[in-house]
Amino acid sequence: MGQAVFAGATRNKTLPDFISCFARHVGECERTGRNGSTANYRMAYRMLVRYVGGGKLPPEQFTAEWLEHYERWLLARGLGTNSVVFHMRSLRAVYNRAVEQGLFPAAGSNPFRRRLIKQVATRKRALPRETLRRIGGADLSALHPKYALARDLFMFSFYTRGMSFVDMIYLRKSDVRDGVLTYRRKKTGQTLSLRVEAPLQKIIDRYDSDSPYVLPVLTADDSYRAYRQQQRELNKFIRKIGELLGISEPLTFYVARHSWATLARDCGTPLTVISAGMGHTSERTTRVYLAQLDRSVIDKANRKIINL
């Protein structure tokens, strides 16, 4: 089917163009409701269009040499290594998809074949248990209500083995039944379950309302745009909390996830249990053990970590 599309375009004397292939890919992501991917690819698309000056990028120009020049241009703009990797991976994904669909001809030599696209490990700082206690017990009543909400989201993530921000925001009350919270990770599609321990239940009860969501972040407008707006705003509040408490490293919601994993390791929790609890699917060993671990093993580890 894809080859037929490309053949038809050739007969009509319309040469394939990588920019148009990229725009098509962004549209596909948007139509299929992949909001996160749409935002990421759109960002990469805009940067690419800026580089080519709004023109086209025909196959004969899309070479390994062109990619090298583009990478240098990105670095010259002040982008970090991982940001450049993000853009190059986006280009590679769109290229492979366009070739697969027959919308862009496969070059004699794949321009990405000899390019090593590898991220640089970023520093992730886990918080000691004393600092976590300070965050959880901080009196924020005199400040804007968003401070308390941001703090509760941070602790909610910690109590749920590092639940991501997007999964917390879209968590529905129907996902909590008989003391068990079950949700599907938006990032991987994997379903995770955990027992609701007392500190977590306290946060759930605190925000009980008529909303279908467990946490009162989204109102009538629960669109992706509204979610991103709330994410940006609450990220600022959690950083400010870190500054108020004198935490040396920037406080983010991801710190809760990393802190849970680190404390789990420090109290002797097996790596396989930690990986299963966090929903990791990237390691082959983890995937093997996920099918064998009983949820009660992970719940026991979670209770032990929370009680620390």
Q: Output DSSP code: residue 176.
A: E
pLDDT digits (tens, 9 = 90+) for 57-90: 998 899 889 999 999 999 999 888 888 989 999 9
Q: Give the contacts of 80 (CB within 8 A, at least 6 positions apart).
A: none
Q: Which of 189, 188, 164 is nearest to 255 (CA)?
A: 164
Distance between CA 279 and CA 262 in Å, rounded?
15
Contact of 82 with 122, CB cutoff 8 Å: yes
Beta strands in the chain (DSSP E): 176-177, 180-184, 191-195
Rounded distance between C-alpha atoms, residue 13 and residue 219, angstroms: 51
List C-alpha distances in Å: 47 to 18, 31, 82, 158: 14, 22, 15, 36
pTM: 0.68
Q: Per the structure block, which two tokens stand in for 289? A: 């053990």
**For tokens 């698309």, what's the residue?**
45
Residue 154 neighbours by CB distance under 10 Å: 28
Residue pair 220/229 in contact (Cβ under 8 Å)? The answer is no
Q: Which long-range contacts (CB under 8 A, 24 or more apart) does 207-210 make?
A: 207/152
> Where exactly does CATH 1.10.443.10 map onto the chain?
129-307
Helix (H) or strand (E) holding 100, with range, is: helix 81-100
Where do you find CATH 1.10.150 in the chain? 2-100
Q: How many helices (H) and strands (E) does the chain have?
A: 14, 3
Residues 241-262 pLDDT 10s: 999 999 988 999 989 988 888 8
* Model confidence pLDDT, tens digit, residues 3-57: 333 333 333 445 578 999 999 999 999 898 888 888 899 999 999 999 999 888 9
Q: How far apart are CA 126 and CA 17, in angstroms?
A: 46
User: In terms of pLDDT, which residue wins out, 278 or 39?
Assistant: 39
Q: Are 105 and 6 in contact (CB under 8 A)?
A: yes
pLDDT reported for residue 12: 40
* Residue at token pair 């008989």: 178
May I ask the CATH architecture of the domain 129-307? Answer: Orthogonal Bundle (1.10)
Question: Structure tokens of 36?
Answer: 């996160």
| 218/146 Cα distance (integer angstroms) | 13
Closest CA to 19 of 55, 68, 67: 55
Q: Does the domain spanning 2-100 belong to CATH 2.60.120? A: no
CB count within 10 Å of CB 255 equals 25
**Sign of the CA dihedral with 280 first, then 154, 300, and 189 last:** negative
Average pLDDT taken over every residue of the chain: 84
Has residue 144 got a pLDDT over 60?
yes
Q: Can you tell me which residue has the tokens 């749920």?
A: 160
